[in-house]
């Protein structure tokens, strides 16, 4: 298609949930076991071609450590899409994800396309968060829900494709 859509996207979520790893997997096709914590924020770009449009993603990967919390509004305020990430092996990160959802709903762009992402599905044997609970929460909040693994690449392209499709519709 000839339509070009600019997609400013922000990744939010607790530290260590895999935000940088999801971006690296999507943009570079790489995964690092010892991914360093993000300082402030990191920036990636990627172009995704759909039948109906070409979506140019500007991806802001925020730092999950609490000391960077005050920077987050700079990244989510103008964002067309927000991905809130938790780690299926850590209940605390799911609780933190809900806080991010509330914050973006209150202070973000009212038309933001939001996704709740259950990352690290390869750690299923250590699972603390049941999908059913997260899926229900996502549904109640009008969010897309996806299970991913940045490590195995499970559903990572699919996640960005689904967001691109929704952005192309607006
Ligand atoms: P902050 O920058 O501190 O906010 O962290 P982050 O959310 O960007 O997490 P990051 O991508 O740095 O990943 C944290 C750790 O989890 C790293 O050691 C990654 O290798 C690991 N990790 C990320 N995604 C996955 C995954 O899908 N499966 C597994 N097993 N490990 C993962």
Cβ neighbours for 140, distance < 8 A, ≥ 6 positions apart: none
Ligand 1, CB within 6 Å, residue ranges: 13, 15-21, 32-35, 37-38, 63-65, 119-120, 122-123, 149-151
| pLDDT recorded at residue 2 | 78
Given a cut of 70, the residues of the chain with pLDDT beneath it are: 1
pLDDT tens string 135-147: 999 999 999 999 9
**120 CA to centre of ligand 1 in angstroms:** 8
Write the burial class of residue 23 (CB in 10 Å: 0-12 exposed, 13-18 middle, 19+ buried): buried
Residue whose pair of structure tokens reads 């802001």 in the numeric block: 60
ipTM above 0.90, yes or no: yes
Instruction: Spell out a b/e string for 90-123, using b for 16 or more CB atoms within 10 Å of the CB, else e.
Output: beebbebbeebbebbeeebbeebbbbbbbbbbee
User: For residue 38, what is the DSSP state?
Assistant: P
Pairing relation of β-strands 4-13 and 54-62? parallel
Instruction: Write down the pLDDT at residue 1.
Output: 55
**pLDDT recorded at residue 122:** 98
In this predicted structure, what is the pLDDT of residue 108? 87
């Amino acid at each position: 298609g000839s339509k070009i859509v600019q997609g400013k996207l922000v990744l939010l979520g607790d530290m260590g949930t895999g935000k940088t790893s999801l971006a690296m997997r999507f943009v570079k096709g790489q995964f690092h076991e010892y991914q360093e914590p993000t300082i402030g924020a990191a920036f990636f770009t990627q172009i995704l071609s759909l039948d109906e449009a070409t979506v140019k993603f500007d991806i802001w990967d925020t730092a999950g450590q609490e000391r960077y919390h005050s920077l987050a509004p700079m990244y989510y305020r103008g964002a067309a899409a927000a991905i809130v990430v938790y780690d299926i092996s850590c209940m605390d990160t799911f609780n933190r994800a809900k806080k991010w959802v509330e914050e973006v709903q209150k202070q973000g762009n009212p038309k933001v396309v939001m996704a709740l992402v259950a990352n690290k599905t390869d750690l299923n044997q250590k699972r603390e968060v049941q999908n059913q609970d997260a899926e229900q929460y996502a549904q109640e909040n009008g969010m897309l829900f996806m299970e991913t693994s940045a490590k195995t690449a499970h559903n990572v392209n699919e996640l960005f494709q689904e967001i691109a499709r929704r952005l192309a519709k607006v």
